Amino acid sequence: MRLLEFLRTLSEEELKALMVVSNIGCAISLACLFLAIIYYLTIWKEMFEKVNYFIHFNLAIALFLAYFLFVLAIQLARENEGACIFVAALLQYLFLSAFCWMMCEGIMLYLMLVVVFSTLSKKWWFFLLLGWVPALVPVVVGLATSHRQYGVKNSSGQLEYCWLSTNEGIIWAFIAPMLLIIIINSVFLVIALVRVLQARRRQALKKSSKVSVNLDLFKALFRATVVLLPMLGLTWVFGLFAVNQNTSWFAWLFTIFNTLQGCFIFIFHVVLSDKFWNNSHIKKMRRSVASSLRSSQFGSTVYSTIKRSSTRQSSSKVERYSSTVGAQLDSLSEPSSDVPTVNKDPDKLEEKTKAMEMAPLDPKAEQNVTN
């Protein structure tokens, strides 16, 4: 399970392509994580009330620092052995801390879906310790026992880049905690998907078509999986598959998904959240952008186009909402089968009313009315 050993078996062109994709993905993730950190700072007080925001914030910090150090110093620090050992140990700590925060995400997911009412979900200090402290243990043990193995060397004995050596067992100081957290989060993912399927099945069983029910369940399962995989860090499994299967496809998947992990977190848990668009700072920024668009001739055209499009979308949403609510009200007001019903068609009802007015009144009925 030596990922670096496997990468050496790839062709030089594949390695260069992987490095380009890795650098681009890390740059995108750094930008997205920086924006996510800025956003969470605007809701600083709420992070201590809703601990899931607090966990997102710390995960973004850990990944941002890890990506930044990976891009900046993993090769630059190889000129000095002491600096290279420090960078390798710091990278190990930051990535393991990121995994610890991913485990916190899994625990919070379990508490929200299964336990529901838990005092632990409000104790941010518990997650603060769980996210930053346990990662120190394998780093300290590794430095105390095998600090010379911090730094990957080539065949001539020169430092190639600053990471844990794959020639000795020190690499397990990173792989073992990572595997443990991946297994734990896999259990949390299965629990979450089962809960999602149960909830969607209750809603979908109201439909008559079995095909539509299965399609809705598949869509719900797919959406939940896509959202939870990067947050729980399960995409790191591709790195293990790349080594065991000895194929470059998993190496590509590992590189793409993990370098873009920060981007996925920003999209799924910041941009697509209602809290983000209801934030006062975001509203001010949107108003300023709209005013700047209206100030220019080209911008006014773009703004009017966007406004018409948003109006059409909102009206369509209102129509869909009205139809849904109307259907629900009709189902609630539908009389039982043993009660005689009146024809609700307005045209037919009007015809019957006119016919009753034009028809002669029965003398017996008239007598009953006068009495």
Q: What are 200-259's pLDDT values in tens digits?
A: 777 766 665 555 666 666 676 777 777 788 888 888 888 777 665 556 777 888 888 888
Q: How much is the pLDDT for 65?
A: 96
Report DSSP letters for 76-128, one per residue: GGGGSHHHHHHHHHHHHHHHHHHHHHHHHHHHHHHIIIII-S-GGGG-HHHHH
Contacts of residue 57, Cβ cutoff 8 Å, sequence gap at least 6: 36, 37, 40, 41, 47
Q: How much is the pLDDT for 282?
A: 64
**Predicted structure pTM score:** 0.72
CA dist 264 and 150 (Å) reads 30
Q: How much is the pLDDT for 300?
A: 56
Where along the chain do its domains lie? 3-274, 279-309
Smallest CA-to-CA distance from 57 within 91, 26, 33, 90 is with 33
Smallest CA-to-CA distance from 147 within 82, 233, 201 is with 82
User: Any bridge partners for residue 81, and if so which?
Assistant: none
Altogether, the residues listed in the chain come to a count of: 371
Q: How much is the pLDDT for 329?
A: 31
3-274: which CATH number, 1.20.1070.10, 3.30.300.30, 1.20.1250.30, 3.40.50.2000? 1.20.1070.10
DSSP-derived 3-state class of residue 161: strand
CA dist 214 and 143 (Å) reads 53
Q: Can you read off the two tokens belonging to residue 106? A: 């899994």
Q: How much is the pLDDT for 215?
A: 67
Q: How much is the pLDDT for 28?
A: 95
Query: Which long-range contacts link 150-158 to residues 24+ away (Cβ below 8 Å)?
Result: 150/84, 150/85, 150/88, 150/89, 151/78, 151/81, 151/84, 151/85, 151/88, 152/4
Q: What are 145-166's pLDDT values in tens digits?
A: 988 888 877 777 778 788 888 7
Q: How much is the pLDDT for 316?
A: 44
Intervals of the chain under pLDDT 70: 1-10, 75, 77, 116-118, 120-121, 204-218, 220, 242-247, 279-371
Contacts of residue 123, Cβ cutoff 8 Å, sequence gap at least 6: 51
Q: What are 112-139's pLDDT values in tens digits?
A: 887 766 676 678 899 999 999 999 999 9
Q: How much is the pLDDT for 307?
A: 53
Write out the H or E segment, with its range, that includes residue 195. Answer: helix 172-204
